[in-house]
Each structure stands twice: as structure tokens, then as C-alpha cells.
Amino acid sequence: MSETIIALDVGTRRIGVAVGEGTFAFPHTTLARTNVRDDVAAIVAIARERNARTIVVGDPLTLAGERALASEQIDAFVAHLSRVFDGGIERVDERLTTAAAQKALIAADVSRAKRKQVVDQLAAVGILETWLARRPR
């Protein structure tokens, strides 16, 4: 049986969550941000429910590949997450994942309201697909 992986697209207002098994990644849910403690508790609950031992977090680098303020905010989020999640936490470059998800949804003629509900999940799918493609088999 393959390992279940959780991927996160952490934004300032929402967290997109994707779940992967084997070589497949699927949208799971979008969490509205409240505070870091509750956000982390919700993520850990999903990981436990899915028996996930690894969480992949998108690392928001600049287009030049440099770390910026958003990366520092994710560092703090990952630090909180690592205090309560006893599995592995990995980071993946998430440049353009949200833009690609938006573009795909627009091309599929998804309404603006529906896009807002799922774009973060699809960005998390992109993050997870990147991680799955790069991991050794």
C-alpha cells in the first residue's frame, strides 16, 4: 500500500489542501485561515484522518527563486506545524501554482465564485505533483 501525503498551499486567507497516494494527487479541501494554532490543528487532524506521515508545504519563492517576506511567513507556519505534527514536513517551490490553477479554471469556464472555493486546492495539487515527480522511487 502506498503512503498518503498531504500538500498545503498556505495563503494569508485560505489554505488549500491536497491528498496524494502513489503517484496521484487530488484536491481535498480549503481551510479558511483563523489563527496559526487552529490552522495547524485542522491540518494535523486531516493528516491523522488520512494516516499521512508526510506534509508537503509550498514555498513561495520570488520569480527569481529568492526567498522573500512570504517565505519567512511560511517558515513561521512550518515551525508551528513541526511542533505538533510528528511526521515529516517538506518544502516545495510553489512558484506559479496558483496562477496555473486559476488559468485552468478560467479555461474550464468555472465561475469566479466557484474558482475562489477550489483554486487553493488545485494549487496544493500542483505542489504535491511537483513533490511526487521529484521524489526518488
- Domains along the sequence of the chain with CATH: 4-134 (3.30.420.140)
Report which DSSP code applies to 25.
E
What pTM value is reported for the model? 0.84
User: From the centroid of its chain, how far is CA 31?
Assistant: 11
pLDDT at 82 over 70: yes
One-letter amino acid of 68 = A
Give all strands of the β-sheet with 4-10 in edge-to-edge order. 24-32, 14-21, 4-10, 54-59, 88-93
Confidence of residue 10 (pLDDT cuts 50, 70, 90): very high
Rounded CA-CA distance 78/29 in Å is 19
